[in-house]
């Protein structure tokens, strides 16, 4: 993203319009109250980011929680950074970056925003990852969650099931099977590792009802090895999300090695800073 000119002003809240590209849809009232008290004591330490839209009015780009908390506090003016020449896709990108860096977005809010960048702005999953410091697999797997039935997405949003559970549910193609497995998880509270084992056992059992030449490799993979591989893949994805680049874990017994890829001196510097911070 190209650099934009910036200036800092104190402006009236009434002149700031909401950001239609804001990826975050829900705001915790208790968190807003806590932020309000923090602003009362310390002020707004980090200015709100806006862009000018003409006739002395501005549109919010980043900092909606700070703006809402300031409104609760009754502040007339707030400090803002004014960014000029901000394109529509940059408004979404900047909002995403701020929320992701602060870990404010739920996984489904991230998925919706990633999908918007992909479908409306034509960015590939790789390009989205590069802009937001995420790996391509993390972006792709997050977007896949939107294919789940609404009932399952609601459970994920409410914290009744985990993102890992949802990835396992997506291994079933038919919605009927996805919901069946979802009910089994929620009713019994099955941890993700045992849920994976159950999927594999079901598939092992199913292979006896298929002709030998039609059996997929996934049915013949040993359960214990698949669980181990899944655990490593999950760890790899966690590292890729944290470091924003491809990570590979190779394990032999209790030892092994982790390979972290980088493509420039600047990227190497950023990775080292993330590891050492």
Give the residue numbers marked as catalytic.
64
Does 13 fall in a domain? yes
Q: What are phi and psi of 190, to 5 degrees?
A: -70, 125
Does 73 fall in a domain? yes
158: tokens are 């409410």
User: CATH number for the domain including 79?
Assistant: 3.90.1530.10
Range of 20-24, 28-32, 209-213 with top mean pLDDT: 28-32
Give 2-28 as a DSSP string: ----EEEEEEEGGGEEP-TT-------
Does 176 fall in a domain? no
Does 69 fall in a domain? yes
Of all residues in the chain, the percent with pLDDT exceeding 70 is: 71
d(CA 110, CA 77): 30
Q: pLDDT, tens digit, for every residue of 220-267?
A: 444 444 444 667 777 777 787 677 677 888 888 888 899 887 766 767
Give the pLDDT confidence score for residue 152 in this predicted structure.
95
The H or E element containing residue 111 is helix 107-119
Q: pLDDT, tens digit, for every residue of 73-119?
A: 888 899 988 877 666 667 666 766 666 555 567 889 889 888 888 88
Does 26 fall in a domain? yes
The band of 198, judged by pLDDT with boundaries at 50, 70 and 90, is: low
Give the pLDDT confidence score for residue 244 in this predicted structure.
65
Question: Does the pLDDT of residue 190 top 80, yes or no?
Answer: no
Give the pLDDT confidence score for residue 224 in this predicted structure.
43
Does 67 fall in a domain? yes
d(CA 44, CA 79): 7
- 263 or 171: which leads in pLDDT: 171
Give the pLDDT confidence score for residue 209 in this predicted structure.
47
Give the pLDDT confidence score for residue 208 in this predicted structure.
45
The dihedral formed by the CA atoms of 216, 221, 223 and 228, expressed in degrees to the nearest 10? -120
Does 118 fall in a domain? no
Minimal CA–CA distance to 120: which of 75, 77, 87, 79? 87
The band of 30, judged by pLDDT with boundaries at 50, 70 and 90, is: confident
Question: Does the pLDDT of residue 68 top 80, yes or no?
Answer: yes
- 131 or 7: which leads in pLDDT: 131
Range of the domain at 61: 6-87
Count of structural domains within the chain: 1
Q: What are phi and psi of 257, to 5 degrees?
A: -145, 155
- In terms of DSSP bridges, do strands 77-83 and 6-12 run parallel, antiparallel, or are they unpaired? antiparallel
pTM to 2 decimals? 0.52
Does 42 fall in a domain? yes
């Amino acid at each position: 993203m190209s650099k934009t000119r910036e200036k800092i002003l104190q402006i009236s809240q009434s002149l700031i319009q909401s950001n239609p590209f804001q990826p975050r849809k829900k705001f915790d009232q208790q968190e807003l109250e806590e932020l309000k008290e923090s602003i009362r004591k310390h002020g707004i330490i980090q200015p709100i980011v806006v862009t000018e839209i003409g006739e002395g009015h501005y549109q919010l780009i980043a900092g909606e929680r700070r703006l809402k908390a300031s409104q609760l506090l009754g502040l007339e003016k707030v400090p803002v950074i004014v960014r000029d020449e901000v394109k529509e896709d940059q408004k979404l990108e900047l909002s995403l970056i701020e929320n992701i860096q602060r870990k404010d977005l739920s996984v489904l809010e991230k998925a919706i925003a990633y999908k918007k960048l992909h479908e409306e702005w034509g960015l590939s999953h790789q390009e989205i990852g590069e802009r937001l410091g995420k790996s391509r697999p993390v972006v792709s797997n997050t977007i896949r969650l939107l294919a789940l039935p609404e009932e399952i997405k609601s459970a994920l949003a409410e914290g009744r099931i985990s993102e890992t559970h949802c990835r396992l549910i997506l291994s079933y193609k038919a919605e009927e099977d996805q919901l069946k497995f979802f009910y089994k998880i929620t009713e019994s509270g099955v941890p993700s590792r045992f849920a994976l084992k159950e999927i594999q056992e079901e598939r092992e059992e199913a292979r006896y009802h298929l002709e030998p030449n039609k059996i997929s490799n996934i049915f013949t993979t040993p359960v214990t090895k698949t669980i181990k591989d899944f655990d490593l893949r999950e760890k790899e994805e966690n590292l890729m999300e944290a470091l924003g680049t491809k990570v590979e874990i190779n394990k032999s017994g209790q030892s092994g090695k982790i390979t972290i890829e980088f493509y420039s001196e600047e990227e190497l510097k950023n990775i080292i800073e993330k590891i050492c911070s």
